[in-house]
């Protein structure tokens, strides 16, 4: 009975190790993901619907969500523009040190976020090398939403570059030649032929950078100044609640944040399948 | 890439033709300048500031900051965590990639989504879920207290949070690679009489070694540098549960900038070494792929 039931669940294969590898994978994910998230669900259900609404409609919580999502969106937009520019220059042009600069694009993936945080804060503080430059103009960068956005641009840049780069590399020169021979000038070729092909990966890179930026903590916490209602981000609010042993508050805010993140992940997957079907067609 | 520039310089006689698929020189110079300025501002400037601040009080004080007992304890803890986390996630990555790419089964999509989960979850929430499970007020808190097991504000909590953050790296690197390579070679090895382990060691592993190395160094870099998730579960007890990134934060918040940047410079060197290994691995992987294509072309 069991053997007959198992048949359609898996296609037969001569390769061994199905039970061992899948069993280990599922057990590992259970300990690290399923059981802890079940604990989160259990704690969240203890908060109750009205308790949840009370916590998430609090003015300070709403302000933190506006700061987190607003700065993340702005940073992802900046990354989409400059990420596309950097990718274009790296793929199409040649200049000395290109390989090193190409490798350096991954720095935000490799550099611990706390290090990025203190480095950016020191750079952009009023007495810092860059913050000091704009200070006479009356601009302040560190400890303002602008500073948060700069940290999030740093964190998100490689997502855009590394998503667009392979597509631009594989773009066939013939398409551009055809466009040019049909009388299009370079700008028309770029905006009507190249850009539409790059748009799906650009959108995916944008969404990935946005999703990462929304939850980012380490690089932001130093440069933000953490003023409630002004520069306080959602992850910091969660830590604040935990430090006051307000587990219900921390859980409710985390659940709302997770819902937003899952929505983003879902959108990313939709975008990826949409862009794949477009490139295949 | 190089051909576009040579093509435009070698064919001036044809007039407008080179312009057809390349931008005018002034556009190229302008775009390259803007891109390099942007990268200098966002990538090179932070790197420069880390090392200049670390050495701002002289090399003797730089060394003193690194050999401070609390700093050394933080280095030891970070190495210990990486030493536990990386092998475990290596085993997970290989097992998950094997199950997902060598077999067709129900629920594969769910499994893939679960593996991507840590990328979508804020590191602070990653720490929070372990506090809610193992903390004093957590689901298992009272039971753990009775058994006198400490997980939160202790090393096991740091290891768990780091495991959660870094488990996708090896798997994510191997799955597309093994998918591309298919199952024919393993099936052939089995039909010719090789056992399961021999098939893995002699057929699969040589094919995936560069991807595996790449996944490992990314996993290691993130494990040593993780801040958000670890700061939630660690309790930041100096000398005991303070990892290197947390030690950087404490020193920075005490306005001990030179010492904070000294410890940060070690983490930055780790990041730079990671990028160098990554470039070498990518280059090797490309060479391996090119060699495989050549062999296939010769056979045909």
pLDDT, one tens digit per residue, over B129-142 is: 999 999 888 888 88
Angstrom distance (rounded) from CA B143 to CA B76? 30
Helices (H) and strands (E) in chain B, counts: 17, 0
Question: Which residue from A minimizes the CA distance to B165?
Answer: A32
- List the alpha helices (DSSP H) in chain A: 2-6, 18-29, 35-47, 49-56, 59-92, 98-104, 107-110, 113-124, 131-134, 145-170, 173-181, 186-189, 195-215, 218-224, 234-243, 247-280
Report how many domains make up chain A.
Answer: 1
CA distance B101 to B123: 28
CA distance readout (Å), B235 to B29, B54, B77, B80, B155: 51, 26, 14, 17, 10
Among residues of chain A, what percentage have pLDDT more than 90?
A: 53
How does residue B11 score in pLDDT terms, banded at 50, 70 and 90? very low
Tokens standing for residue A164: 């667009």
CATH of the domain at A121: 1.10.3720.10
Count Cβ atoms below 10 Å from residue A257 Cβ, excluding itself: 26
Q: Does the pLDDT at position A238 exceed 70? A: yes
Residue A271 resides in a domain: yes
Which residues have CB under 8 Å from B238's CB, separation 6+? B70, B73, B250
Residue of B nearest to A253 (CA): B125
Q: Which of A7-11, A58-62, B71-75, B108-112 has the lowest mean pLDDT?
A: A7-11
Question: What residues contact A184, with CB distance under 8 A and at least 6 apart?
Answer: A192, A193
Average pLDDT over residues A1-5: 48
Tell me the residue range of the domain where A153 lies: 46-280
pLDDT value, residue B20: 63
* Residue A37 covered by a domain: no
Band (B7; pLDDT cuts 50, 70, 90)? very low
> Is the C-alpha dihedral spanning A97, A102, A104, A105 positive or negative?
positive
A121 backbone dihedrals φ, ψ, rounded to 5°: -65, -45
Gap between the Cα atoms of B262 and A102, Å rounded: 27
The minimum CA-CA distance between A23 and chain B, rounded to whole Å, is 9
The reply to whether A6 falls in a domain is no
Banded model confidence at residue B17, pLDDT cuts 50, 70, 90: very low
Interface test with B, best of A13, A146, A152, A218 (most B CBs within 10 A): A218
Checking if the pLDDT of A204 tops 90, the result is no
Of the partner residues B92, B232, B278, the one whose CB lies closest to the CB of residue A242:
B232
pLDDT score for B292: 78
- The confidence score (pLDDT) of residue B16 equals 45
Closest CA of chain A from B299, distance in Å = 26
pLDDT at B74 over 90: yes
CB contact under 8 A, B114 and A110: no
Q: CA of A20: which chain B residue's CA is closest?
A: B95
Q: Cβ–Cβ contacts within 10 Å for residue A4, how many? A: 7
Q: Whats the size of chain A, residue-wise?
A: 281
Percent helix, strand and coil across chain B, each rounded to 5? Answer: 80, 0, 20
Q: What is the ipTM of this complex?
A: 0.87
CB contact under 8 A, B268 and A33: no
Residue from the list B42, B117, B121 with its beta carbon closest to the beta carbon of A154: B42
Residue A272 predicted with pLDDT over 80: no
A2 occurs within a structural domain: no
Name the residue with tokens 């400490």. Answer: B150
User: How confident is the model at residue A219, as a pLDDT?
Assistant: 93
Which residues of chain B neighbour A110 with C-beta distances below 8 Å? 218, 221, 225, 270-272, 274-275, 278
Read off the pLDDT of residues B91-108 as tens digits, 9 standing for 90 and up.
999 999 999 998 888 888
Residue A197's pLDDT is 86
Helix or strand or coil: residue A46?
Answer: helix
- Distance, in Å, from the CA atom of B206 to the CA atom of A5, rounded to the nearest integer, reads 36
Q: Is residue A11 part of a domain?
A: no
Among the partner residues A108, A115, A180, nearest to B264 by beta-carbon distance: A115
Could you tell me the pLDDT band of residue B1, with boundaries at 50, 70 and 90?
very low
Say what percent of chain A tops pLDDT 70: 94
Using an 8 Å CB-CB cutoff, list chain B residues near A250.
Answer: 128
pLDDT reading at A280 higher than 70: no
d(CA B143, CA A247): 18
A107 located within any domain = yes
Judged by DSSP in three states, B22 sits in coil
Within a domain: residue A19? no
Tokens of B55: 């050495």
What sign results for the dihedral spanned by CA atoms A187, A188, A193, A199?
A: positive
C-alpha to C-alpha distance for A210 and A155, rounded to whole angstroms: 10
Angle at A127 between CA A124 and CA A129, to 5 degrees: 55
pLDDT of B6 > 50? The answer is: no
Q: Does residue A13 fall inside a structural domain?
A: no
Q: How far apart are CA B143 and CA A269, in angstroms?
A: 40
Predicted confidence at residue B120, as pLDDT, reads 82
Q: How confident is the model at residue B12 (pLDDT cuts 50, 70, 90)?
A: very low
CA A44, distance to chain mean position in Å, is 25
pTM of the shown model: 0.88
- Per-residue pLDDT tens over the stretch B166-211: 999 999 999 998 988 888 888 889 889 888 888 899 989 988 988 8
State residue A278's pLDDT score. 66
Banded pLDDT at A17 (limits 50, 70, 90): confident
Residue range A10-24: mean pLDDT, rounded: 85
- Kindly state the helix (H) or strand (E) to which residue B116 belongs, with its residue range: helix B108-120
CA distance B295 to chain A (A): 22
Closest-CA residue of chain B to A102: B279
CB spacing of B137 vs A247 below 8 angstroms: yes
pLDDT number for residue B14:
42
Yes or no, beta carbons of A217 and B122 under 8 Å apart: yes
């Amino acid at each position: 009975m069991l053997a007959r039931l198992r048949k359609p669940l898996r296609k037969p294969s001569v390769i061994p190790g199905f039970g061992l590898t899948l069993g280990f994978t599922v057990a590992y994910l259970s300990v690290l993901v399923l059981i802890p998230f079940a604990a989160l669900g259990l704690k969240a259900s203890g908060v109750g619907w009205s308790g949840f609404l009370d916590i998430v409609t609090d003015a300070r919580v709403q302000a933190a969500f506006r700061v987190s999502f607003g700065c993340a969106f702005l940073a992802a937009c900046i990354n989409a523009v400059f990420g596309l520019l950097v990718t274009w220059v790296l793929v199409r042009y040649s200049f000395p040190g290109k390989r090193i600069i190409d490798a350096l694009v991954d720095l935000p993936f490799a550099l611990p976020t706390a290090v990025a945080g203190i480095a950016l804060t020191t750079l952009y503080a009023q007495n810092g090398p860059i913050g000091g430059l704009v200070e006479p103009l009356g601009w302040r960068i560190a400890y303002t939403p602008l500073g948060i956005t700069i940290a999030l641009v740093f964190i998100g840049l490689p997502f855009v570059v590394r998503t667009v780069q392979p597509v631009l590399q594989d773009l066939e020169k013939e398409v551009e030649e055809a466009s040019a021979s049909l009388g299009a000038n370079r700008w028309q070729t770029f905006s009507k032929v190249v850009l539409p092909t790059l748009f799906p990966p650009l959108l995916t890179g944008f969404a990935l950078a946005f999703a990462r930026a929304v939850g980012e903590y380490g690089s932001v916490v130093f440069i933000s100044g953490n003023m409630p209602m002004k520069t306080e981000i959602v992850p910091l609010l969660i830590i604040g609640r935990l430090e006051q042993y307000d587990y219900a508050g921390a859980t409710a805010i985390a659940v709302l944040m997770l819902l937003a993140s899952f929505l983003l992940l879902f959108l990313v997957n939709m975008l990826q399948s949409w862009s794949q079907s477009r490139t295949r067609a | 890439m190089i051909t576009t520039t040579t093509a435009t310089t070698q064919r001036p006689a044809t007039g407008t033709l080179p312009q057809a698929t390349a931008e005018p020189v002034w556009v190229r110079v302008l775009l390259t300048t803007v891109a390099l300025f942007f990268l200098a501002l966002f990538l090179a400037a932070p790197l420069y500031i880390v090392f200049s601040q670390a050495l701002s009080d002289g090399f003797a004080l730089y060394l003193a900051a690194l050999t401070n007992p609390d700093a050394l304890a933080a280095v030891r803890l970070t190495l210990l965590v990486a030493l536990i986390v990386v092998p475990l996630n290596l085993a997970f990555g290989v097992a998950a990639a094997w199950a997902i790419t060598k077999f067709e089964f129900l629920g594969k999509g769910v499994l893939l989504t679960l593996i991507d989960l840590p990328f979508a979850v804020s590191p602070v929430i990653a720490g929070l879920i372990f506090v809610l499970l193992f903390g004093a007020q957590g689901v298992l808190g009272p039971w753990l207290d009775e058994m006198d097991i400490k997980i939160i504000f202790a090393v096991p909590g740091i290891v768990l949070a780091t495991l959660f953050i870094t488990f996708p790296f090896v798997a994510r690197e191997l799955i597309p690679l093994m998918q591309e390579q298919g199952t024919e070679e393993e099936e052939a090895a089995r039909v010719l009489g090789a056992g399961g382990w021999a098939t893995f060691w002699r057929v699969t592993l040589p094919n995936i070694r560069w991807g595996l190395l790449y996944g490992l160094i990314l996993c290691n870099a993130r494990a040593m540098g993780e801040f958000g998730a670890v700061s939630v579960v660690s309790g930041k007890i100096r000398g005991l549960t303070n990892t290197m990134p947390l030690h950087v934060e404490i020193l920075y918040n005490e306005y001990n900038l030179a010492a904070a940047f000294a410890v940060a410079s070690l983490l930055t060197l780790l990041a730079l070494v990671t990028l160098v290994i990554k470039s070498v691995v990518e280059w090797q992987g490309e060479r391996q792929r090119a060699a495989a294509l050549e062999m296939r072309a010769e056979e045909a």
